[in-house]
Structure 1
Amino acid sequence: MQRRASGRTVGGMRALLLQAPAVSLLLVWMLIPLGMTLWFSFQRYNLLNPMISGFAGWNNYTFLLTDPALWIAIGNTLLMVCWVLGITVIGGVLLAVLFHQEFFGRGIARLLVISPFFIMPTVSALVWKNMMMHPVNGIFAWLFKLAGLQPIDWFSSYPLTSIVIIVSWEWLPFALLILLTAIQSLDDDQIEAARMDGAGPLAIFWFITLPHLKRAISVVVMIEMIFLLTIFAEIFVTTSGGPGLASTTLAYLIYLRALLDFNIGIASAGGVIAIILANLVAIFLIRTVARNLET
């Protein structure tokens, strides 16, 4: 028993020694930026005025938490995330069911429908800004004119809605890929048995397909929400957070404070708040996914 115990101990120590370099590098990679952000969030640090320096205490956080722009940005962020998740999950489920069926040209159609996911955010934002939503030369304006309607200046009249449309177009293929992979693992015998019992397409979708996709939907929601909290390029290219603060998210507000106001202290405090918000969301989502995996 002693030899076995000592053997296990030696094996465990060897495993720890082999893992130590990678774990140490990962900790350094994570802790140094986090530590610097925390440090600067308690400092007076302005890039335009080096004379403003020293320990600021909680002043940066107090300024941010009493700034209405922060709460508007958080509200815009949550609103955008919820709308994009709803569109991509519902659209992804419907498209997954559609592309699971046999039809002519299905391979080419699948390739085309997932292609937006491989386009860089800056490029897709430029395409939507200049080719789709342009109030004079855009495709939407042309369609409105054909229908006898007045074209809409999307980025001035509906800035946050425009961002939601662009981001949903980018992330819908991702949801489709995950959900289509999940639906292909559904047992065909189960569906055939339901059809023999008289179940129609809607009943099969509601009672068989949708419960089968529950885990995949949870994974899609978790991954997308973490990335959607950091959306920046689409806003920078199209609306620049405006008009006013109508399309300013938390990530873009941090950019405004850091690189336009040159106030690194307040921007770092905003970064800490963003980290706390992202971790709260991640904890909630991980628990939700774990609960679905257990069922």
Structure 2
Amino acid sequence: MSAHRRLLYFSYELPVFILLLGLLVASSVSADPVVNGIVGESVVLPAGFSQQSDITGVEWSFGPDVIANEGNINGTKQFKDRVHLNRRDWSLTINLLRAEDSGEYNCAFETATGQLPTHAVILRVYEKIESEVTRKPSNETCHAMLLCTTNQRENVSYRWKRGDQDLPEHAGILEASLSPGERNVTFTCIASNPVSEATASIRESCDCIAFVAESSGGVSFCVLKTVLLSVGLVLMISAVIGVHVRDCTHTKRNVRRHRAACET
């Protein structure tokens, strides 16, 4: 192979080699694990390292403070009597979680030959979510603006249902519309955060009388439906009465004919 061809080959292969090397390095570096917890409950932070006979020291820290080690497994400072260090896998259990417990925790190991790389865990503590659905004040009966409110402002997602049907709306506000005559339609908001979910419902109705009062003019569907039902009911009753009268008249005529035949 000539020097020119070798140079050309190298110029093509070098970028590919650098790209593969970068991908290999990137794949070997993983993000710190994230653990979610609920205020008032417990959570376990993994140490990322199994027990070995040559471990001489274990230390969990939160910020600049050491909160537990092999000599004090029940915690120090703000974590006193709220944490427990498991001597089997060196995981750290935190009880009665508080919002201020959120942050980065570091676990350091020492062995007879030196210190191992520090293992970091990110803890995010959330309150258990609560939700409520209210109706925005309005003079309209068959159109409603429904508001889903929670006890939290961040990391909240919403879903809505009309009866058992999922709606496409994914915000805290839902514009609901009802057809004339629909009653007790249930609208449900499902609010959730990374650790919990809460549902709240409200019922809406569209009465015919109220709809007529809101109509700008003309014959409403409710009125037309009521008239048609009333006319249909009257016609049905009239038909039944007519059949009954016809049968009675026919029976009386037969009786008279029978008597006349007997007398002759």
| Same fold (TM > 0.5) | no
Q: Between Structure 1 and Structure 2, which shows a larger proportion of helix residues?
A: 1
Higher relative contact order, structure no. (Cα contacts within 8 Å, ≥ 6 residues apart):
1
Q: Between Structure 1 and Structure 2, which shows a larger proportion of strand residues?
A: 2
TM-score range, shorter chain: under 0.3
TM-score by length of 2: 0.19
TM-score by length of 1: 0.17
